[in-house]
């Protein structure tokens, strides 16, 4: 499997580069970044044979079978479609787009081409959430409520490495996308009721800095999600699963019960790195000619729910 990583020297591009290095039979043959000197230096450091500043030159190559897009959100839909039109399988970092309309365009192209097109819903793959999903599927747990906090301190336009960003992140279409998809995935249902509230927009960034989302699925399970770019404290997302048989708290790749006893996840997956696990699924799905977990045709239901939440802001 020969892969191009677009946005390779960004925070998540490098996570994918490191993850792909752990997968047997995978070679990164091309990397893309917007600055010629930086991407060429990065390619040389990582031993990658080709470096380009445009996606077009990378996907025109015969030694690229698939592409991982770790590029700005606003580019995802057009770039994913371009990859598939060039005959390349594509994994799109979360979110696949920042609107339902663009997300649907990606789904339409995937269905037209029959190529593997996967959205980077990494929470489906984190061992902590996989452990919960396995017990749900085995009939051992039923979710009654998910209570989720997604907190950052981001009052300037910077990325996960603290570097200036050329595009603006979004609490709804990026950060809420993780939880909206996970809640629907874990319950196996699409939200039947949703609402959203957002605080004032940042004067320079133009985006809401605080947000609350509520969801309910037909079986009765509910999810409450709080998001903020104003939280001056521990950063990240914390998931509390309140179930009929116990309470569980997921903190990234770790899982605890309701009394803060850590749960052993060593036998859940081949790695405790969610990015590596999602990349393994992408590669395996292509090799096996099957639909991946996280296929855009499934993730579109989360984008539909996000669209409903966004519409509720003005209602």
pLDDT tens-digit profile of 120-155?
A: 999 999 999 999 999 999 999 999 999 999 998 766
239: part of which helix (H) or strand (E)? strand 236-243
- CATH number given to 2-122+275-293: 3.40.50.720
**Per DSSP, what are the bridge partners of residue 215?**
194, 223
Residues 53-76 pLDDT 10s: 999 999 999 999 999 999 999 999
pTM confidence score: 0.94
Structure tokens at 32: 């893309």
Strand partners, 35: none
Strands 210-216 and 222-228, how do they pair?
Answer: antiparallel
Question: Average pLDDT, whole number, for the chain?
Answer: 94
pLDDT at 168: 59
Position 314 confidence tier, pLDDT thresholds 50, 70, 90: confident
The pLDDT assigned to 315 comes to 57
CA dist 34 and 315 (Å) reads 40
How does DSSP classify residue 237?
E
- Three-state secondary-structure class, residue 211: strand
pLDDT surpassing 80 at residue 268:
yes
Looking at per-residue pLDDT, the higher value among 242 and 156 belongs to 242
Task: Report residue 205's pLDDT band, with 50, 70 and 90 as the boundaries.
Answer: confident
Which pLDDT belongs to residue 164? 58
Task: Give the tens place of pLDDT for each residue, 150-181.
Answer: 998 766 556 555 665 555 578 899 999 999 99
**CB atoms near residue 41 (< 10 Å):** 14
- Nearest residue to 68 (alpha-carbon basis) of 287, 290, 275: 275
As a whole number of Å, the end-to-end CA separation of the chain is: 48
**Segments making up each domain of the chain, as ranges:** 2-122+275-293, 126-268
Above 90 in pLDDT, residue 253?
Answer: no
pLDDT score of 75: 95
pLDDT in tens, 83-122: 999 999 999 999 999 999 999 999 999 999 999 999 999 9
d(CA 176, CA 160): 17
CA angle 42, 45, 47 (to 5 degrees): 105
pLDDT for residue 155? 62
Is CATH 3.40.190.10 correct for 126-268? no
In the block, tokens 């995802």 appear at: 76
Token pair, residue 66, equals: 């698939």
**52 has a pLDDT exceeding 90:** yes
Q: What is the per-residue pLDDT across 179-201, written as a single tens digit (0 to 9) for each?
A: 999 999 999 999 999 999 999 98
Round to whole Å and give the CA distance between 30 and 86.
15
Alpha-helical (H) ranges within the chain are 11-20, 36-46, 55-59, 76-85, 100-113, 127-137, 177-187, 274-288, 296-313
The pLDDT, as a whole number, for residue 235 is 77
* Sign, Cα dihedral of 282, 286, 292, 298: positive
* Cα 44 to the center of its chain, rounded Å: 28
The answer to whether residue 234 scores a pLDDT higher than 90 is no
**Alpha-carbon distance 279 to 306, whole Å?**
25
The DSSP secondary-structure symbol of 172 reads I
Residue with tokens 């996308």: 177
């Amino acid at each position: 499997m020969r892969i191009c990583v677009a946005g390779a020297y960004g925070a998540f591009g490098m996570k994918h580069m490191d993850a792909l290095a752990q997968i047997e039979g995978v070679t990164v043959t091309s990397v893309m970044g917007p600055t010629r000197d930086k991407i060429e230096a990065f390619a040389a450091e990582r031993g990658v044979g080709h470096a380009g500043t445009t996606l077009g030159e990378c996907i025109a190559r015969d030694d690229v079978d698939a592409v991982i897009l770790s590029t700005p959100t606003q580019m995802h839909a057009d770039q994913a479609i371009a990859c598939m039109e060039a005959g390349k399988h594509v994994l799109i970092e979360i979110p696949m787009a920042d609107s339902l309309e663009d997300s649907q365009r990606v789904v339409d192209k995937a269905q037209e081409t029959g190529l593997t097109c996967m959205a980077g819903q990494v929470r489906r793959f984190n061992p902590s959430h996989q452990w919960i999903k396995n017990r749900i599927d085995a009939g051992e747990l039923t979710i009654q409520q998910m209570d989720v906090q997604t907190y950052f301190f981001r009052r300037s336009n910077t990325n996960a490495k603290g570097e200036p960003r050329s595009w603006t992140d979004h609490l709804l279409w990026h950060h809420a996308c993780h939880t909206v998809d996970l809640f629907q995935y874990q319950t196996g249902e699409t939200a039947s009721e949703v609402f959203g509230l957002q605080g004032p927009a940042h004067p320079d960034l133009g985006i809401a800095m605080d947000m609350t989302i509520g969801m309910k699925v037909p079986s009765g399970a509910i999810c409450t999600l709080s998001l903020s770019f104003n939280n001056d404290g521990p950063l990240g997302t914390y998931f509390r699963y309140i179930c009929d048989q116990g309470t569980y708290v997921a903190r990234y790749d770790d899982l605890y019960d309701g009394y803060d006893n850590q749960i052993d996840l060593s036998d859940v997956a081949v790695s405790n790195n969610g990015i590596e696990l999602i990349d393994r699924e992408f590669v395996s799905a292509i090799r096996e000619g099957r639909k991946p977990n996280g296929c855009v045709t499934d993730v579109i239901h989360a984008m539909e729910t996000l669209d409903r939440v966004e519409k509720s802001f003005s209602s």
